[in-house]
A and B are shown apart, each in its own frame.
Chain A
């Protein structure tokens, strides 16, 4: 639901330079209309992106100023932002879910093209991801065993979740980036 000037509903507020889109529909939408974009495989990578891009504009939560990104969790919002007079210079598309669904439900050619935006943007995160692939999952699974023996069911439960997330996000992210390395 775009506002009268095509911006997000909270009218009159300047849009940030960076935006994050979720949902594969949003990915498609962004792919068709934004010149530059970044595809991240999971939230941890997105957070890393925040750190790097926000260095020139530090985020100050106490003052609520310097917010460098706006996360857009629906295709409607992405469309509204893109249609605005001052769309974000960069759109960050994030989550394992978005990546998984995009790759599995659309022709690979489109996925590669979308991923290609990553390289044009100069966003080089593939090496750390490849390096860390699997290791974090193993560490979390060890943590699960340690916490279970300690009787810390709360932390053990978190470790299981982190293990699962690490496996899924890193594995899919790595596959996507390998594709990117070969293709672009």
Chain B
């Protein structure tokens, strides 16, 4: 896709727009051969040995961020960046439909969940945008996403008896937040391909299965357990991962008109809000017996909490995103990237972190920094009025 002329923009961007553009520039410096690379730090494990391109959930936020910036600015530069990122995905797909290095903190391995579904969402978002722009080539991105969903998710992870997607081919574990991400991909694929089977035969039954396991009784009511192992919920409640479920439930409501989904989404969001600290951050995980592991608290990743709350606003849900937005913006580094978290020093303990950050706190990760993208355009009631001009190409 070639664009030459770019519209003139004002040079007085808002702080929010400047922040978003700086972050977009930083992401470009993370490009290596094959896509966006760099090390990963995470709650479960770190990927410091492998720093090559990872076709994982980083692409969901990176591409939606570029598309947000494009919508806000009208600059084709950002649309071109989104298309370039989508081409990374296409080039990174293997003959089985899986993507290269899609395991994020476990890289370099393929067949990562929910990463490959998140990558599919990214592709479908680009296809949708290009279709709206009447540009050529959008069908190819749908074909790539369809190959991933058909060959990997439906053929290997779908369990017809449970009518749900498992997280492994032995049908042992179901992870609700991963099913939610996959649901969004299936819904988008149905919409763009015109084949309702993806939504009706797979997406909604899988989401319904998870919905039946939503906590409805104790102080963690509204939350989804991190995973269900051999039919039993493992009651670790990660507010962050619960935030990733909310937009899927809202989308299910919007597509079906079934208020059960909306009520479930509200309940989950209320669980998240009960745990948001005054500074806008979230504890890492809370347990059924009221214990919690507070640290590290995600900084860039908190963008998904804003995205969750904003998805409910059109349905009359009051959500003040400002504390969380301030929490995220306070973590932007001079380079334009975002610090990943606060409190890695205290991981596993509940001690107050020292004033000096752990190195992992300050390490910006492409697959976390992308999560702040919802604020690019979504947070402001009106889109940012102007953006700084991107670098000359």
Q: Which residues of A contact B (CB under 8 A)?
A: 1, 3-4, 8-10, 13-16, 20, 22-23, 43-44, 46-47, 50-51, 54, 58-61, 64, 67, 69-77, 80, 94-98, 100-101, 154-155, 157-159, 161-162, 165
B355 and A59 form a contact (CB under 8 A): yes
By secondary structure, the A interface counts as: mixed
User: Which residues from chain A contact B362 at a C-beta distance below 8 Å?
Assistant: 20, 69-71
Report how many residues on chain B are interfacial, defined by Cβ distance under 8 Å: 43
**CB-nearest residue of chain A relative to B42?**
A161
Chain B neighbourhood of A154, CB < 8 A: 236, 285, 287, 293
CB < 8 Å neighbour of A61 from B44, B49, B50, B342: B342
A8 touches B359 (CB 8 A): no
Candidate in B26, B48, B347, B362 with the most chain A CB atoms within 10 angstroms = B48
Do residues A73 and B391 form an inter-chain contact, with CB atoms below 8 A?
no
- Asked whether any CB of chain A lies closer than 8 Å to the CB of B25, the reply is yes
B30 touches A9 (CB 8 A): no
A75 CA / B38 CA spacing, docked (Å): 9
Q: Is the CB of A70 within 8 A of B29?
A: no
Complex contact B358–A9 (CB within 8 A):
no
Q: Which residues of B contact A80 (CB under 8 A)?
A: 29
- Give B36's nearest chain A residue, CB to CB: A74
Q: How far is the CB of B344 from chain A (nearest CB, A)?
A: 8
Contacting pair A13 B334 (CB below 8 A): yes
Query: Which chain B residues border A96 with CB–CB below 8 Å?
Result: 48-49
Asked if A94 and B359 make an inter-chain contact with CB atoms under 8 angstroms apart, the answer reads yes
In the complex, the answer to whether B285 meets A73 with C-beta atoms within 8 Å is no
- A16–B334 touching, CB < 8 Å: yes
Closest to A80 in B: B29
Per-position 1/0 for B341-367, Cβ under 8 A of A:
010010110000011111110111100
Q: Judge whether A74 and B30 touch: CB under 8 Å.
A: yes
Contact A95 B39 (CB under 8 A): yes
Contacts of B51 in A (CB 8 A): 22-23, 73-74, 97
Question: Is B32 engaged at the interface, CB distance under 8 Å to the other chain?
Answer: yes
**Residues of chain B within 8 A of A70, CB atoms compared:** 333-335, 362
Contact across chains for B363 and A9 when beta carbons are under 8 A apart:
no
A61 touching B357, Cβ below 8 Å? yes
For residue B239, CB closer than 8 A to chain A, the reply is no
A-B contact pairs, 27 of them (CB 8 A): A1-B29, A1-B391, A8-B29, A9-B29, A10-B22, A10-B335, A22-B38, A22-B39, A47-B359, A70-B333, A71-B333, A71-B359, A71-B363, A72-B335, A73-B30, A74-B31, A74-B37, A74-B51, A95-B39, A97-B48, A98-B48, A100-B49, A154-B236, A154-B293, A158-B347, A161-B45, A162-B348
Residues of B with C-beta under 8 A to A1: 25, 28-29, 31, 391
Q: A50–B354 Cα gap in the complex (Å)?
A: 12
Q: Known: A47-B359, A154-B285. Contact between A10 and B25, CB under 8 A? A: yes
Residue among A9, A51, A154 with max Cβ neighbours from chain B (10 Å): A9
Any A CB within 8 A of the CB of B46: yes
Q: Residue A59 contacts which of B22, B39, B48, B356 (CB distance < 8 angstroms)?
A: B356
The complex places the Cα of A3 from the Cα of B333 at a distance, in Å, of: 16
With A8-B334, A64-B330 known as contacts, the answer to whether A74 contacts B357 (CB < 8 A) is no
A13, closest chain B residue (CB): B334
Determine if B336 is an interface residue (Cβ-Cβ < 8 Å): yes
| A1-B25, A73-B38, A74-B32 known; A59+B357 contact, CB < 8 A | yes
Besides the contacts A8-B335, A22-B39, A51-B354, what 18 more A-B pairs have beta carbons closer than 8 Å? A1-B28, A3-B25, A9-B26, A10-B336, A20-B362, A22-B48, A23-B38, A43-B48, A43-B363, A58-B355, A70-B362, A73-B38, A73-B39, A74-B31, A74-B37, A80-B29, A94-B359, A97-B48
